[in-house]
Amino acid sequence: MASKAKRQILETAIDLFASEGYSGVGIRELAQAADVTPSSIFRLFESKEKLFDEVLETVVSSSLDPDEFSKLLEVGEKDLGQALHRALRRWYSSLTPRSARLLAYSALSTKEEWRELGFARTLEISKRLAEGIQAQGQKSRKNKLDATASARTLILSLLHVRSSRSLIERGEKEREVVDRMIQQWIQGVTPLR
C-alpha cells in the first residue's frame, strides 16, 4: 500500500514540480492532487525537499545512460553522421517534456545538490558527444572546432525544445524540427569529404 501511495505521490510531484517549479508547489496542494494526506507525504518522504530530491533522482535515472550514449557513437568514421544522429535522437527520446523542465529547474536552482543531481547526467552526455566528434570528426578539419562548446550548444538547445517547444512554429512537427536541428549541427561538426 505504501509503495502505491509513494508512486502516486512521486508521479504527481513530477507533474506539479515540472509545471510550477519547486517554490510553486505546496504540500497541501500536492497531497490533494495525489489524493493522499499531507501526513502521508511527510511519512514517506520526510519533507518537501527530500521529495524533490527523489523526484530529481527518478527523472535523471529515466534518461539515457551516458555509457549507452557512448556505445551508440562507436562506429566507423564513414558512419559518424548516422551515429551522431542515432545517439542524439535516442537521448532526446529518453526525456519527457516534464523531465526536461525539471532538469532545467534544477540547473537554475540555488541549491548546489539539485544543480549537480539534475544536470550531471546531461553534462556527461554533452561531454561524451564532444569526445565523439573530437575523436572521429576532427582528423580532417582545417579549422579547429571547439567540440565541447558545440556539444553543449546542441544538448542545451534540444533540452530547451523538449521542455518548452518554443522553437517550434505552429504546424511544425517536433520530430521534424529536432531532426533538422541535429542534421544542421552534424553538418557543422563533421569534416567535409
Instruction: Please give the full DSSP string across 59-123, using - where no structure is assigned.
Output: HHHHSPPHHHHHHHH---GGGHHHHHHHHHHHHHHT--HHHHHHHHHHHT-S-HHHHHHHHHHHH
Q: Which residue range is the domain that position 46 belongs to?
A: 2-58
52 and 126, same structural domain? no
The number of distinct structural domains making up the chain is 2
- pLDDT confidence of 107, banded at 50, 70, 90? confident
77 and 169, same structural domain? yes
**What percentage of residues in the chain have a pLDDT greater than 70?**
90
- Residue 30 cell numbers, joined: 500536492
Q: Is the pLDDT of residue 193 over 50?
A: no
- pLDDT confidence of 53, banded at 50, 70, 90? very high
CATH code of the domain covering residue 122: 1.10.357
- pLDDT confidence of 169, banded at 50, 70, 90? confident
- pLDDT confidence of 16, banded at 50, 70, 90? very high
**What percentage of residues in the chain have a pLDDT greater than 90?**
51
105 and 134, same structural domain? yes
Residue-wise pLDDT for 146-160, tens only, equals: 888 989 899 988 988
Domain boundary among 10, 30, 58: 58
pLDDT of the residue at 126: 92
